[in-house]
């Protein structure tokens, strides 16, 4: 772990310059607004180790998949998340010497991510090689009040010298991706324009022909007064900037305010891009930095009013949960149903695509409880609109008759993951899509979604499972071979319990949905049946046969479900048998050794027990938890939250708290030594779940909120809010008591430890001795 960041309730603080952790900090201090985002690169030049990263939602490049062999159905490309034009750049020279923190003595450095108000701030004092000493303060943000605008205030003080300050604010589209093959570049410059205070670059992606216009305008102030200046225009292919020379005397301060707009062809026609960008830049410039920042702060305060979790008595835990919530809202706002929640968000480019099963399994519960119901619905509609692509994906693998296999990784509905054991075998992702429909309706009561969209998706998924299984004469049961479960440290196994269980459940849920839709909307049902050529009785009878005879591996002696048929043949060790030099095993062991081991990357059987806990008694869950958790190395960011929730249910308070801290501070403390590649955005929703579903014990049963709260021993209190069916509940948990306030317009029934409480609008109940 790397513990160089200060603990603070509302801020992430790096106090002191840590160039050895440069990339980690660039990830952690990233900013975004759901439309575009930016790693915490420096505005001025930096010749040290860095990963330059600007990203625009929905923009990608289909990089041709290259393997030494080819299989039918293999994805034709890997969807790269493209590094987009750099809008933050401000080159600074002092009497011809570059301002560069890598070349000089850093006497003071402090970087702060202010999560309460939504901005990044950096201050430093640098003794340059020439002996000049400068003090710099830089503040920037990506506006969530106006998601096409970003702004920077860059202030420089000449501490002990006088001279010529050369300032060059610029836009640069001549950038590369870290994982580019042979340093290939993915942007074509279409137009570069520079004016006295302005710079615009219009660029187009290769192959996909997405167009992005990035524009900036700046002003310069000295000693509190705006300056008039002449600028030297710089126009090159994929680059535009303005160079200004300013005379600065000892003790004087020069401030550059840079306003930017990032506009893409995702939202505007090609002929509108440049003019729209100019208009947005002009409006931002006229508003001014202070007003834009005030709007940003107000917008974030509204977000926090809806979604904040307050923890008293544990600053590390408090900082971590706010960091996770902050990054989630920077990544996805629900404004655009074409977008989704990328695993790295706007913080890095390691993973291709923008959508994994993480969205349905982990992110949906967060947005259901903290945002309007339409946000969760849009996440489901996103998948509905990709249904035909899912059917095409299945057809490439040999499935037919409308069977749908949703991709493991996608940006447009097509599978774009380039590892065969994931693309072909990790098919449990289909189950997460179906489960999300169930989870959404259970939470919102929006049964109309089944009629409008849900049933068609469920039929496609059920058709896939019905074709993917086969009947075993030996077992006289249906089985499923050649799969990878959630534990990706096992590939090509037979009868992964979780995959088999969720496949069976999908078919059962599809049958229930059919019955409901036919009864509630018979005309729509009939039209759907005809459109998708659904032979109901033939197909559903086959589903019922599979459901009744589906093999689910288990061991009666141990009383546990088997992760797969051969699991007990492995050498059954625990994580305690590993040395520090072994961890993480995915960076220190060969893949062969990992696959042969018993060690588990993330919840597998336990993922199923988390999803379907009401299907099992507590002792069954406990036996499986006690068996599998000691073998789990938690080297997936998605692992600790599930274990935290189950541990809380089983009254394993210390384990629940341990797992909470691991998921909450995964990136802040770099548990898995991979934060430099970007943050683990989708798993951050699991941090929220660890508190609300874990410590708060929140479940929805029979259309009502149920709570079974407990509080870690070292916390004084914690509180959270949840939206639920038109109302808002504020839950405050202390040592031995809980208070629940109904902030909605009507009375609401809530269960606490299985006891019913009716809470009137704007009223509170307090319960002792929880």
**∠ CA(444), CA(449), CA(455), 5° rounding?**
130
Do 100 and 46 contact (CB within 8 A), yes or no?
Answer: yes
Environment class of residue 701 by beta-carbon count within 10 Å: exposed (0-12), middle (13-18) or buried (19+)?
A: exposed
Kindly state the tokens that stand for 379: 């996440």
- Three-class secondary structure of residue 163 per DSSP: strand
Phi and psi based region of residue 527 (left: phi greater than 0; alpha: psi -120 to 50; beta: remaining): alpha
Q: Which stretches of 612-701 are DSSP H helices?
A: 618-628, 639-649, 653-664, 681-689
- Residues shown for the chain: 770
Do 90 and 171 contact (CB within 8 A), yes or no?
Answer: no
E-strand stretches of 70-132: 77-81, 90-94, 97-98, 104-114, 119-128
Q: How far is CA 85 from CA 1, 30, 145, 330, in A?
A: 33, 16, 22, 19
Listed as own residue / partner, the contacts of 522-525 with beta carbons closer than 8 Å and 24 or more positions apart are: 524/451, 525/455
Closest alpha carbon to 551 in 609, 509, 607, 501: 501
Do 207 and 130 contact (CB within 8 A), yes or no?
Answer: no
**Sign of torsion, CA 50 56 57 59?**
negative
Kindly state the tokens that stand for 130: 């020439």
Q: How far apart are CA 387 and CA 465, in angstroms?
A: 15
Q: Is 488 a catalytic residue?
A: yes
Task: Show Cβ contacts of residue 249 under 8 Å, excluding neighbours closer than 6 positions.
Answer: 158, 162
Kindly state the tokens that stand for 243: 């160079």
Q: How far apart are CA 43 and CA 24, in angstroms?
A: 17
Q: How far is CA 687 from CA 170, 176, 617, in A?
A: 38, 33, 25
**∠ CA(518), CA(520), CA(523), 5° rounding?**
60
Q: Are strands 554-555 and 149-158 parallel, antiparallel or unpaired?
A: unpaired
Phi and psi based region of residue 662 (left: phi greater than 0; alpha: psi -120 to 50; beta: remaining): alpha
End-to-end CA distance of the chain: 36
DSSP conformational letter for 206: T
C-alpha 359: how far from chain center? 8
Catalytic residue, from 26, 121, 488, 635: name it. Answer: 488
Environment class of residue 656 by beta-carbon count within 10 Å: exposed (0-12), middle (13-18) or buried (19+)?
A: buried
- Three-class secondary structure of residue 336 per DSSP: coil
* Radius of gyration (C-alpha) of the chain in whole angstroms: 27
Residues marked as catalytic: 488
């Amino acid at each position: 772990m790397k513990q160089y960041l200060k603990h603070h309730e509302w801020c992430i603080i790096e106090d002191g310059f840590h160039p050895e952790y440069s990339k980690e900090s660039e990830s952690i201090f990233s900013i975004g607004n759901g439309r575009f985002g930016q790693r915490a690169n420096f505005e001025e030049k930096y010749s040290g180790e860095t990963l330059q990263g600007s990203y625009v939602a929905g923009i990608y490049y289909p990089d041709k998949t290259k393997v030494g062999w080819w299989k039918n159905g293999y994805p034709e490309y890997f969807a790269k998340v493209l590094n987009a034009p750099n809008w933050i750049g401000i080159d600074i020279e002092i009497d011809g010497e570059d301002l560069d923190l890598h070349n000089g003595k850093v006497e003071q450095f402090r970087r702060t991510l202010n999560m309460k108000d939504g901005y990044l701030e950096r201050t430093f004092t640098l003794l340059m090689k020439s002996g000049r000493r400068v003090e710099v303060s830089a503040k920037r943000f990506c506006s969530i009040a106006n998601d096409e605008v970003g702004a920077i205030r860059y202030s420089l003080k000449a501490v002990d010298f006088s001279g010529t300050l050369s300032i060059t604010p610029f836009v640069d589209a001549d950038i590369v991706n870290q994982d580019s093959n042979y340093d290939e570049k993915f942007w074509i410059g279409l137009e570069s324009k520079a004016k006295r205070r302005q710079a615009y670059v219009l660029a187009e992606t290769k192959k996909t022909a997405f167009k992005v216009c990035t524009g900036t305008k700046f002003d310069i102030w000295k000693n509190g007064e705006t300056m008039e200046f002449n600028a030297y225009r710089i126009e090159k292919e994929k680059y535009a900037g303005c160079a200004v020379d300013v005379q600065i005397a000892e003790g004087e301060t020069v401030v550059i305010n840079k306003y930017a707009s990032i506009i893409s062809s995702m939202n505007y026609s090609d002929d509108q891009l440049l003019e729209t960008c100019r208009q947005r830049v002009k409006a931002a410039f006229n508003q001014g930095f202070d007003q834009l920042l005030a709007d940003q702060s107000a917008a974030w305060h509204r977000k926090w009013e809806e979604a904040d979790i307050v923890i008293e008595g544990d600053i590390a835990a408090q900082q971590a949960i706010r960091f996770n919530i902050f990054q989630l809202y920077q990544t996805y706002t629900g404004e655009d149903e074409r977008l989704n929640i990328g695993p790295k968000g706007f913080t890095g480019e390691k993973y291709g695509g923008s959508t994994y099963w993480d969205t349905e399994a982990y992110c949906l519960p967060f947005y259901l409880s903290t945002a309007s119901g339409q946000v969760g619905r849009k996440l489901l509609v996103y998948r509905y609109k990709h249904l035909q692509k899912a059917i095409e994906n299945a057809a490439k693998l040999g499935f037919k008759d409308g069977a749908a296999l949703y991709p493991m990784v996608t940006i447009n509905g097509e599978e774009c993951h380039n590892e065969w054991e994931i693309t072909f075998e990790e098919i449990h992702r289909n189950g997460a899509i179906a489960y999300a429909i169930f989870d959404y309706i259970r939470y919102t009561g929006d049964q109309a979604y089944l009629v409008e969209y849900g049933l068609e998706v469920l039929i496609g998924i059920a058709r896939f499972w019905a074709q993917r299984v086969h009947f075993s004469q030996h077992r006289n049961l249906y089985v499923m071979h050649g799969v990878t479960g959630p534990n990706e440290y096992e590939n090509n196994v037979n009868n992964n319990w979780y995959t088999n269980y969720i496949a069976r459940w999908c078919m059962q849920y599809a049958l229930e949905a059919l019955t409901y839709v036919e009864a509630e909307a018979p005309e729509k049902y009939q039209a759907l049946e005809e459109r998708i050529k659904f032979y109901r009785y033939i197909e559903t009878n086959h589903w019922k046969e599979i459901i009744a005879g589906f093999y689910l591996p288990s061991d009666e002696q141990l009383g546990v479900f088997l992760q797969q048929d051969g699991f007990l043949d492995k050498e059954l060790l625990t994580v305690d048998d590993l040395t520090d030099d072994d961890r993480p095993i995915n960076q220190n062991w060969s893949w062969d050794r990992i696959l042969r081991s018993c060690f588990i990357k993330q919840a597998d059987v336990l993922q199923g027990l988390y999803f379907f806990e009401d299907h099992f008694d507590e002792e069954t869950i406990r036996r499986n938890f006690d068996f599998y958790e000691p073998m789990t190395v938690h080297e997936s960011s998605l692992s600790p939250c599930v274990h935290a929730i189950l541990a809380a249910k089983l009254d394993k308070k210390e384990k629940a708290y341990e797992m909470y801290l691991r998921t909450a501070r995964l990136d802040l403390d770099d548990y898995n030594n991979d934060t430099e590649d970007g943050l683990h955005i989708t798993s951050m929703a699991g941090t929220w779940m660890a508190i609300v579903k874990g410590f708060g014990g929140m479940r929805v049963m029979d259309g009502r909120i149920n709570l079974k709260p407990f509080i870690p021993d070292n916390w004084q209190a914690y509180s959270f809010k949840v939206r639920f069916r038109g109302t808002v509940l504020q839950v405050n948990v202390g040592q031995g008591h809980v208070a629940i306030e109904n902030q909605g317009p009507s009375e609401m029934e809530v269960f606490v430890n299985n006891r019913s409480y009716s809470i009137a609008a704007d009223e509170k109940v307090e319960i002792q001795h929880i």
